Amino acid sequence: TLRTEERQRLARERREEREKQHAAKESQILEKERKAKLQYEKQLEERQRKLKEQKQKEEQRRAAVEEKRKQKIEEEKERYEAVMHRTLERNQRLETRQKRWSWGGSVTPDSESKTALLYTAGKRSTSTANLKQTEAVMSKRLSSSAALLNASDRTRRSQLSPLDSSVISRLLAPTQASLARSKSAATLSAD
């Protein structure tokens, strides 16, 4: 009986020892799981924080780019308005200068009005035959000089804005005063 009691006691002690070891292992596993879970949550929070910061930086960068674009558009608008203002002032100065120095006070851009002016001026003159000859010579000279100007300036005008090219074409068109001066010089030389 002593031996059996001893064996039972030893078996009970071994069983208790195994249970203690098993409980210790379980607690270690639970602790590891808890630590792993905490670490995972920490990593997840860190990742979310980084994503949030990256998103904020991206939004700030987008806002800066948009602000820069608006500022550039505003500067271009101001530059365009300044150019338009200068062009209008230049046109007004040119118009007042033309009115001051021209005899007729207006610009005749089409060739029909030029020939009509020459024709009426020729009617008023005493020698119509000389005037017709000088008129033909003058119209030939005008058309050849206009052709030369158009050919040489065509490449330059293609690079200009429509407003500038219209101003230049108006400036290149002969005025009534210049036609009348040419006519009177031709009449004097013919006489």
Render pLDDT for 25-35 as a digit per residue (tens, 0 to 9). Answer: 999 999 999 99
Stated pTM of the model: 0.34
Task: Tell me the pLDDT tens digit for each residue of 171-181.
Answer: 666 666 677 67
CA 148 to chain centre: 35
Q: CB neighbours (10 Å) of residue 8?
A: 10
Residue 155 has pLDDT above 90, yes or no: no
How high is the pLDDT of residue 63?
A: 95
CA dihedral 67, 70, 72, 75 (to 10 degrees): -120
pLDDT in tens, 23-74: 999 999 999 999 999 999 999 999 999 999 999 999 999 999 999 999 999 9
Residue in 139, 95, 96 with CA at minimum distance from that of residue 117: 139
Nearest residue to 92 via CA among 170, 39, 148: 170
pLDDT on residue 108? 45
Compute the distance between CA of residue 126 and CA of residue 190 in angstroms, rounded to an integer: 12
